[in-house]
Amino acid sequence: MAQQLLLLLPAPSSSRTFSKPLPSPSPTLSSLSRRHRVSFSAAARRDLLRCGMKRSDLVAELEIAKDKQPHSRRANGIFWILLLNFGIYMADHMFQIREIKALYLYHASPTWYQFVTSTFCHANWNHLSSNLFFVYIFGKLVEEEEGNFALWMSYILTGAGANLISWLVLPTSSVSLGASGAVFGLFTISVLVKMSWDWRKILEVLILGQFVVDKVMEAARATTITGQSFQVNNIAHVSGALIGAALVFLVSRIPFSSNDDSHKATKESK
């Protein structure tokens, strides 16, 4: 029994080896690490402040550069003009909606809206594609330079003006349709709004102008139906170009305040 009691006695614990507390860091090491932490936090704070100042300066410079950069106009109106021409052509020739024929300009008894609507009508696919190619090129230039409203007004006024002169000159048995009066108007406007008295620009116009005009004359077509035959309406070509030049001249006479002046005025009011 005594042997059993002796066997049940716990063995000497080996935890005495771990009973001693861990040595605390020396005061010199703790103070040193404290100094490093303080110095690091101060340096990090200075760097963050410096970075923040640099970032704010960079943002300010970017905002100033953004204000100075001219705002480019996105061309959207030209695509609506193209879609309108294409939609009227599809309704006229593919779906054969009879009411579309009322949009043609009948010289014998014209209606006031036909001077405008006939510029969106075309006789066949070649007539449509050749005109819309140049409408897109020159119309996009006008819209990027002068804006959406100027594009629509240029298209309508030059096209309707060309039809008006054609109606005054051509026989009463004629029927006019096509956008080439507007094409030549947009071509003239796109050239004149970028024109300057720099001799290089004048030389470019003299050299390239005749070539471009010939190509546009070949492709752009204002069709006049006389009897049963289709004829190219050169009167509409010349009239559209002259009306485009007149529009640029008239608009240039209107005084406009520059963006810089308005920007300065808003600054002073603030």
Is the distance from CB of 101 to CB of 92 less than 8 angstroms? Answer: yes
Nearest to 147 by CA among 82, 67, 201, 71: 71
What are the E-state strand segments in the chain?
105-106, 174-177, 223-226, 229-232
User: Which of left, alpha, beta for 221 (phi over 0: left; psi -120 to 50: alpha)?
Assistant: beta
> Has 263 been annotated as catalytic?
no
Query: Distance (Å, rounded) from C-alpha 43 to C-alpha 36?
Result: 10
**What is the residue-averaged pLDDT of the chain?**
76
Is the distance from CB of 145 to CB of 194 less than 8 angstroms? Answer: yes
What would the pLDDT profile of 8-66 be if each residue is shown by its tens digit?
Answer: 445 444 444 444 555 555 554 455 445 544 454 555 556 645 555 455 554 555 555 55
Question: Per-residue confidence at 230, pLDDT binned at 50, 70, 90?
Answer: confident
Query: Distance (Å, rounded) from C-alpha 238 to C-alpha 213?
Result: 11
Residue 232: helix, strand or coil by DSSP? strand
The strand pair at 105-106 and 174-177 is best described as: antiparallel
Query: Distance (Å, rounded) from C-alpha 92 to C-alpha 113?
Result: 17
The predicted pLDDT at position 234 comes to 85
The predicted pLDDT at position 1 comes to 44
Instruction: Supply angle C-alpha 205, 211, 215, rounded to 5.
Output: 130
The predicted pLDDT at position 195 comes to 77
Query: Distance (Å, rounded) from C-alpha 176 to C-alpha 120?
Result: 11
The predicted pLDDT at position 203 comes to 74
Neighbours of 162 (CB within 10 A): 33
76-253 homologous superfamily: Rhomboid-like (1.20.1540.10)
Question: Per-residue confidence at 217, pLDDT binned at 50, 70, 90?
Answer: low
Domain residue spans in the chain? 76-253
The predicted pLDDT at position 202 comes to 72
Residue 40: helix, strand or coil by DSSP? helix
Q: What is the mean pLDDT of residues 70-92?
A: 86
Q: Which residue among 154, 176, 180, 239 is the active-site one? A: 180
Query: Distance (Å, rounded) from C-alpha 87 to C-alpha 42?
Result: 71
Is the distance from CB of 144 to CB of 73 less than 8 angstroms? Answer: yes
CB half-sphere exposure, 121, CA atoms < 13 A: 28
Q: What is the mean pLDDT of residues 82-92?
A: 97
> Has 33 been annotated as catalytic?
no
Nearest to 78 by CA among 170, 186, 169, 159: 186
